[in-house]
């Protein structure tokens, strides 16, 4: 299993003050329109302008605790077969996330051939889940994550690999390691090397790669920072939870392009787009909400001013939702809702000590059709533990 | 632990070390030699898998094995020398399940002469993996 330095933002989200206007406006209509983005309105937060690593999970709105990660195409196929029993019944709670071709690729091939690198980074995700609340149907998601271009790939970055080698070499010499070093001392050496690499700037680069589009301001090894990723996912529903009755239930696509501005500057620009179509959810017993379409265009600019991280971001959305209500066997009403608007925020984050950040955010949100027009300010302390 | 021997035939050619490093994991290999009746390992070569993942290094390559080591046309010179290695894998990766795998072998002509080959493979449980090993040459 991958090990790295992880920072978990724990529960220390302490609100110090909140001043906002316009909260009294009803958001119900908006929430229906963008059900899958409900946190945007409910929590006054910008949508995450990154491409989901596991788009099938995102499309279904699940965050599974137990994810199967088969490492080969054969193991992936076996995992898929496990998701369906011999009668064609879909198992619920299946979550598979894999890059099945990665481990069959050598580093040399990865570095020398775009096609092999593209295929190695191709990530598949599969998920099944029961509908929410009284929705008894089973939903399935099948997703694909692509790295179309990554100028930030540590495997391609000789600066990163040379620095890794230099750290290893210096400890190798200091510890006087040789082919006959006994296993106990070799294990201690291995731990020391791991720690040194983890504490180095090199690791920041790897960590950034893991954390979506990264933060080039931290790395001195940056050479080219253009990263283009995309993802797509298809959703199906089965009212009887069998594979034979699976029906199309919409799809979604995401794409982000990240640009490092200046070779040694911490500035980064991220452009993001996403679309969702034809998503059908049984929100209540007698009603169905169909998100006919949802579009989002977003942009984020990040920089560092002294030791303060600053980001300015904005997004515009446009959606059409149809709510169908079955009043009786023969009577059904349909209401079509349109929503278009935007969200803008400026966030400043200052590191008070190695584990504590002060977060200040200023935001504005406007949706014309829904008469939503808010402006607010909030502060928070964030506590992070290094594991 | 018993010392592993590699038996070379004086009728065959200069031995060649073979490497196969699978998966897109960064790997560094350091090769060292120990002369007969000495206690010091002398590092002679360091390589990695950036340019190629399956490659060979011949003992008669002066670029790889400089003077003072068992380089020459006579296999008999190898008797009593030891060849050792230290292998490092970088576990800082971008995927959840990341394996490492290396096989080090040796051939003389077309014949494999290192039995068993040195093989290490597994999944990372930390940011680095380091392995070592060595063989002693015996010429018959």
Mean pLDDT computed over B70-92: 85
Contacts of A147 in chain B (CB under 8 A): none
CB-based contact, B60 to chain A, within 8 Å: no
Q: How many CA atoms lie within 13 A of B103 on its CB side?
A: 14
Report the percentage of chain A scoring pLDDT > 70. Answer: 76
Lowest-pLDDT range of A28-42, A75-89, A121-135: A28-42
CA distance A118 to chain B (A): 13
Mean pLDDT computed over A248-261: 89
At residue A232, the pLDDT reads 96
At residue A13, the pLDDT reads 27
CB-based contact, A69 to chain B, within 8 Å: yes
At residue A135, the pLDDT reads 66
At residue A147, the pLDDT reads 93
How many angstroms separate the CA atoms of A88 and A247, rounded? 14
Residue in A97, A103, A108 closest to B52 by CB: A108
Q: Select, from the ranges A39-48, A251-260, B59-68, B73-82, the one with the highest average predicted confidence (pLDDT).
A: A251-260
The answer on pLDDT for B98 being more than 50 is yes
The answer to whether residues A344 and A364 touch, using CB atoms and an 8 Å cutoff, is: yes
At residue B84, the pLDDT reads 95
CB contact under 8 A, B50 and A154: no
How much is the mean pLDDT over chain A?
77
The answer to whether residues A135 and A287 touch, using CB atoms and an 8 Å cutoff, is: no
At residue A192, the pLDDT reads 94
DSSP character for B15?
A: -
The answer on pLDDT for A261 being more than 90 is no
At residue A349, the pLDDT reads 87
pLDDT grade for A20, boundaries at 50, 70 and 90:
very low
pLDDT grade for A120, boundaries at 50, 70 and 90:
very high
Q: Select, from the ranges A171-180, A262-271, A363-372, the one with the highest average predicted confidence (pLDDT).
A: A171-180
At residue B30, the pLDDT reads 95
Q: Select, from the ranges A28-32, A131-135, A200-204, the one with the highest average predicted confidence (pLDDT).
A: A200-204
At residue A223, the pLDDT reads 42
At residue A27, the pLDDT reads 33
The answer on pLDDT for A2 being more than 60 is no
pLDDT grade for A283, boundaries at 50, 70 and 90:
low
pLDDT tens for residues A50-60? 888 889 998 88
CA of A180: which chain B residue's CA is closest? B133
Mean pLDDT computed over A62-75: 84
Ramachandran class of A353: left when φ > 0, alpha when ψ lies in -120 to 50, beta otherwise: beta
DSSP character for B88?
A: E
pTM above 0.80, yes or no: no
Mean pLDDT computed over A323-328: 81
pLDDT tens for residues B7-24? 999 888 889 999 999 999
How much is the mean pLDDT over chain B?
87
ipTM of this complex prediction, to 2 decimal places? 0.91
Mean pLDDT computed over B46-55: 92
At residue A206, the pLDDT reads 55
- Tell me the residue length of chain A: 387
Contacts of B49 in chain A (CB under 8 A): 106-108
At residue A161, the pLDDT reads 87
The answer on pLDDT for A22 being more than 50 is no
The answer on pLDDT for A9 being more than 70 is no
CB-based contact, B121 to chain A, within 8 Å: no
Top pLDDT among A263 and B96 is at A263
At residue A254, the pLDDT reads 95
At residue B74, the pLDDT reads 81
CA of A120: which chain B residue's CA is closest? B24
Report the percentage of chain A scoring pLDDT > 90. Answer: 29
Query: Hey, which residues 34-53 in chain B have their CB within 8 Å of chain A?
Result: 34, 41, 46, 48-53
pLDDT grade for A43, boundaries at 50, 70 and 90:
very low
Top pLDDT among A46 and A45 is at A46
At residue A5, the pLDDT reads 30
At residue B10, the pLDDT reads 86
CB-based contact, A162 to chain B, within 8 Å: no
Q: Of B120, B117, B118, whose CA–CA distance to B130 is shortest? A: B120
pLDDT tens for residues A205-247? 555 544 433 333 334 344 446 889 999 999 998 888 888 888 9
Top pLDDT among B5 and A206 is at B5
Q: Of A84, A118, A381, whose CA–CA distance to A244 is shortest? A: A84
């Amino acid at each position: 299993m991958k090990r790295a330095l992880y920072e978990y933002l724990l529960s220390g989200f302490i609100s110090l003050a909140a001043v906002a206007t316009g909260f009294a406006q009803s958001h119900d209509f908006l929430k229906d329109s963008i059900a899958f983005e409900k946190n945007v309105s409910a929590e006054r937060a910008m949508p995450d302008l990154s491409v989901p690593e596991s788009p099938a999970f995102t499309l279904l709105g699940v965050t599974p605790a137990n994810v199967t990660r088969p490492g080969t195409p054969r193991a992936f196929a076996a995992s898929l077969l496990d998701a369906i029993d011999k009668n064609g019944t879909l198992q619920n709670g299946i979550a598979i996330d894999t890059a099945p071709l990665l481990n069959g690729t050598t580093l040399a091939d990865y570095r020398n051939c775009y096609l092999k690198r593209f295929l190695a980074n191709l990530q598949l995700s599969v998920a099944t889940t029961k509908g929410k609340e009284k929705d008894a149907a089973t939903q399935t998601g099948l997703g694909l994550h692509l790295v179309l271009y990554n100028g930030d790939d540590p495997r391609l970055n000789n600066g990163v690999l040379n620095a890794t080698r230099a750290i290893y070499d210096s400890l190798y010499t200091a510890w006087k390691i040789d082919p006959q070093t006994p296993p106990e001392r070799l294990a201690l050496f291995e731990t020391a090397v791991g720690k040194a690499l983890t504490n180095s700037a090199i690791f920041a680069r790897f960590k950034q790669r893991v954390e979506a589009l990264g933060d080039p301001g931290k790395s001195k090894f940056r050479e080219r920072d253009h990263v283009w990723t995309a993802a797509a996912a298809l959703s199906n529903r089965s009212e009887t939870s069998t594979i034979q009755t699976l029906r199309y239930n919409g799809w979604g696509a995401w794409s982000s392009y990240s640009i490092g501005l200046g070779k040694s500057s911490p500035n980064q620009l991220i452009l993001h787009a996403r679309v969702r179509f034809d998503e059908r959810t049984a929100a209540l017993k007698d009603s169905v909400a169909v998100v006919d379409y949802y579009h989002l265009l977003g942009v984020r600019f990040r920089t560092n001013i002294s030791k303060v991280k600053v980001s300015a971001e904005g997004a515009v959305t446009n959606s059409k939702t149809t709510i169908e209500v079955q009043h009786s066997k023969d009577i059904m009403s349909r209401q079509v809702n349109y929503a278009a608007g935007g969200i803008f925020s400026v966030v400043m984050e200052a590191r008070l000590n190695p584990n504590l950040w002060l977060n200040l955010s200023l935001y504005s949100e406007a949706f014309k059709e829904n008469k939503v027009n808010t402006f607010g300010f909030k502060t928070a302390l964030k506590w992070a533990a290094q594991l | 632990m018993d010392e592993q021997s590699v038996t070379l035939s004086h009728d065959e050619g200069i031995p060649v070390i073979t490497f196969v490093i699978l998966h897109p994991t960064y790997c560094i290999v350091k090769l060292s030699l120990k002369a007969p009746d000495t206690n010091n390992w002398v590092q002679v070569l360091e390589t990695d898998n950036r340019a190629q993942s399956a490659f060979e290094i011949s003992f008669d390559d002066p670029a790889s094995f400089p003077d003072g080591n068992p380089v020459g046309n006579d296999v008999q010179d190898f008797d009593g020398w030891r060849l050792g290695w230290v292998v490092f894998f970088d576990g800082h990766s971008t995927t959840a399940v990341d394996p490492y795998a290396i096989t080090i072998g040796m051939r003389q002509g077309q014949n494999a002469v290192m039995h068993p080959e040195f093989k290490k493979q597994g999944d990372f449980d930390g940011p680095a993996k380091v392995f070592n090993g060595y063989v002693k040459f015996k010429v018959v």
